[in-house]
Amino acid sequence: MKELQLHCIGGNCKIAIFVDGINALFERRTNINRKLPTKRVKGPFKPEWTEESIAPDEFTVVRSIKKLLKSNHPNSVVIAR
């Protein structure tokens, strides 16, 4: 990510970031339980299940995407839906 920012600042490249379902990044909880069940659990989810689930910010990839969305570097655009 730092390399992309440096290239944008230097004017060597331009970045376009497209995100679909951006609201999921800012939810309080996900539907992924900490116990990581062996088979996929389908909803509707009970409140106890949701309270024991993992927060989106606990995933490294979500934190990286949020940093990219800040778009504090030149030659970049963010389109989210």
> pTM for the full model?
0.61
Residue range 23-34, pLDDT digits in tens: 888 888 887 777
In 1-80, which ranges are continuous DSSP H helix?
2-10, 47-51, 60-70
Task: Using the predicted structure, report yes or no on whether residue 37 has a pLDDT greater than 70.
Answer: no
Please tell me the predicted confidence (pLDDT) of residue 71.
66
On the CB side of 25, CA atoms within 13 Å amount to 16
5's CB contacts (< 8 A; 6+ apart) are 73
Bridge-partner residues for 16, per DSSP? 77
